[in-house]
Amino acid sequence: MSLTLLIEQILNGLQFGVMLFLMAAGLTLIFGVMGLINLAHGSLFMVGAFACASVAAATGSFWLGLVASLAAAAAAGALVEILVIRRLYERDHLDQVLATFALILIFSEGTRWVFGSFPLYLDIPQLLSGAVHLPGGAQYPIYRLAVIGVGIAVAVGLYLLIGKTRLGMRIRAGESDREMIGALGIDIGTLYTLVFALGAALAGLAGAMVGALQSVQVGMGEPVLILAFVVIVIGGIGSIKGALVGSILVGLTETLGRFLLPHFFGLFMSNSEAATVGAALASMLIYIVMALILAFRPQGLFAANA
Amino acid sequence: MTRETSISILIVAGLLAAAFIAQAMGETFYITLATRMAILGLAATGLNIALGLGGLVSFGHAAFFGIGGYAAGILATHAFNSEPLLFGLPGTNQMIVIWITGAIAAALVAVLIGLISLRTSGVYFIMITLAFAQMIYYFAISWPAYGGEDGLSIYVRNAFPGTNTLAPMSFFLICFALLTLGLILFALMRDSRFGAALQAGRQNETRLAAVGIGPFRVRLAAFVISAMMTALAGALFADLNRFVSPSMFSWHMSGELIVLIILGGVGRLAGPLAGAIVYVLFEFALGGITEHWQFFLGLILLAVVLFARGGVMGLLAGRARHG
Amino acid sequence: MAEPILDIRDLRKSFGALKATDGVSLDLKPGEIHALIGPNGAGKSTLIHQIAGSLQPDSGEIRFEGRDVKPLDVAARARLGMGRTFQVSSLAPEFSALRNVMLAVQARQGSSFRFFRPVMHDRRLTEPAKEALARVGLSDRADVPAAELSHGERRQLEIAIALALGAKAFLLDEPMAGMGPEGSQALTTFLDGLRAEAPILLIEHDMDAVFALADRISVLVYGRIIATGTVDEIRNHPAVREAYLGEGA
Q: What is the DSSP string of A202-262?
A: HHHHHHHHHHTTS-B-TTTHHHHHHHHHHHHHHH-TT-HHHHHHHHHHHHHHHHHHHHHHH
pLDDT at A180 over 80: no
Domain annotation covers residue A305: no
C92 at interface of B, judged by CB pairs closer than 8 A: yes
Per-residue pLDDT averaged across C169-179, rounded?
A: 88
**C58 and C4 housed in the same domain:** yes
C227 has which bridge partners? C219
Domain annotation covers residue A301: no
Number of independent structural domains in chain A:
1
Single out the residue in C136, C164, C192 at which a domain terminates.
Answer: C164
Predicted local confidence at residue A238, as pLDDT: 81
Domain annotation covers residue A77: yes
Q: Which domain holds residue A19?
A: 3-296
Single out the residue in C149, C164, C179 at which a domain terminates.
Answer: C164
Mean pLDDT score of chain A, rounded to an integer?
Answer: 88
Please, which pLDDT band fits residue C128 given cuts at 50, 70 and 90? very high
Chain centroid to Cα A267, Å, comes to 35
Q: What are phi and psi of A185, to 5 degrees?
A: 80, 25
Predicted local confidence at residue B144, as pLDDT: 83
**Residue type for position A76:** A
Q: What is the rounded CA–CA span in Å between residue A273 and residue A270?
A: 5
Number of independent structural domains in chain C:
2
Helix axes A240-266, A221-235, angle to 10 degrees: 110
Please, which pLDDT band fits residue B238 given cuts at 50, 70 and 90? very high
**C114 and C236 housed in the same domain:** no
Helix (H/G/I), strand (E/B), else coil: B89: strand
Predicted local confidence at residue C248, as pLDDT: 43
The pTM of the full predicted model, rounded to 2 decimals, is 0.92
Domain annotation covers residue C87: no
Q: What are phi and psi of B235, to 5 degrees?
A: -65, -40
Beta strands in A114-195 (DSSP E): 131-133, 139-141
Predicted local confidence at residue A127, as pLDDT: 83
- How do residues B125-157 score in pLDDT, each as one tens digit? 998 999 999 999 999 998 888 888 899 999 889
**C171 and C68 housed in the same domain:** yes
Judged by CB atoms closer than 8 Å, whether chains meet at B211 and C91 is answered as no
**Which of B11-25, B229-243, B303-317, C199-213 is the least confident region?**
B303-317
Domain annotation covers residue C146: yes
Single out the residue in C108, C142, C164 at which a domain terminates.
Answer: C164
**C53 and C149 housed in the same domain:** no
Instruction: Report yes or no on chains C and A touching (3+ CB pairs under 8 A).
Output: no
Each domain of chain B, given as residue ranges in start order, spans: 7-251
**What chains are in contact with A, requiring at least 3 Cβ pairs below 8 Å?**
B
Domain annotation covers residue C86: no
- How do residues B161-175 score in pLDDT, each as one tens digit? 989 999 999 999 999
Per-residue pLDDT averaged across A121-149, rounded?
A: 84
A243 at interface of B, judged by CB pairs closer than 8 A: no
Q: What is the CATH number for A192? A: 1.10.3470
Domain annotation covers residue A40: yes
**C151 and C134 housed in the same domain:** yes
**C198 and C236 housed in the same domain:** yes
Q: Which domain holds residue C109?
A: 92-164
Give residues 180 to 239 of C whose Cβ lies within 8 Å of B: none
Judged by CB atoms closer than 8 Å, whether chains meet at A101 and B135 is answered as no
Percent above pLDDT 90 for chain A = 48
ipTM metric = 0.89
- How do residues B86-124 score in pLDDT, each as one tens digit? 777 888 899 999 999 999 999 999 999 999 999 888 888
User: Which of chain A's residues have a Cβ under 8 Å away from the Cβ of B306?
Assistant: 84, 87, 99
Helix (H/G/I), strand (E/B), else coil: C200: strand
User: Which of chain B's residues have a Cβ under 8 Å away from the Cβ of A113?
Assistant: 292, 295
Q: What is the CATH number for C235? A: 3.40.50.300
- How do residues C63-85 score in pLDDT, each as one tens digit? 999 999 999 999 999 999 999 88
**C99 and C210 housed in the same domain:** no
Nearest to B210 among C78, C108, C143 (CB): C78
Domain annotation covers residue A306: no
**C76 and C172 housed in the same domain:** yes
Please, which pLDDT band fits residue A306 given cuts at 50, 70 and 90? very low
Q: Of B76-90, B160-174, B222-236, where does the model show the most confidence?
A: B222-236
What does the DSSP assignment read for B262-317? HHH-TT-TTHHHHHHHHHHHHHHHHHHH-TTHHHHHHHHHHHHHHH-TTHHHHHHH
Alpha-carbon distance B301 to nearest alpha carbon in chain A (angstroms):
6
Predicted local confidence at residue C249, as pLDDT: 37
Please, which pLDDT band fits residue C180 given cuts at 50, 70 and 90? confident
**C239 and C184 housed in the same domain:** yes
Domain annotation covers residue A302: no
Nearest one of B187, B179, B186 to B226, comparing CA atoms: B186
Per-residue pLDDT averaged across A199-206, rounded?
A: 95
**C60 and C121 housed in the same domain:** no
Please, which pLDDT band fits residue B308 given cuts at 50, 70 and 90? confident
Alpha-carbon distance B183 to nearest alpha carbon in chain C (angstroms):
13
pLDDT at A124 over 70: yes
Q: β-strands C200-203, C169-173: how paired?
A: parallel
Q: What is the rounded CA–CA span in Å between residue A102 and residue B279?
A: 13
Mean pLDDT score of chain B, rounded to an integer?
Answer: 93
pLDDT at C103 over 80: yes
C96 CB contacts (<8 Å, ≥6 apart)?
B322, B323, C142, C143, C144, C145, C146
Predicted local confidence at residue A15, as pLDDT: 93
**C153 and C172 housed in the same domain:** no
Domain annotation covers residue A303: no
Predicted local confidence at residue A174, as pLDDT: 66
A40 at interface of B, judged by CB pairs closer than 8 A: no
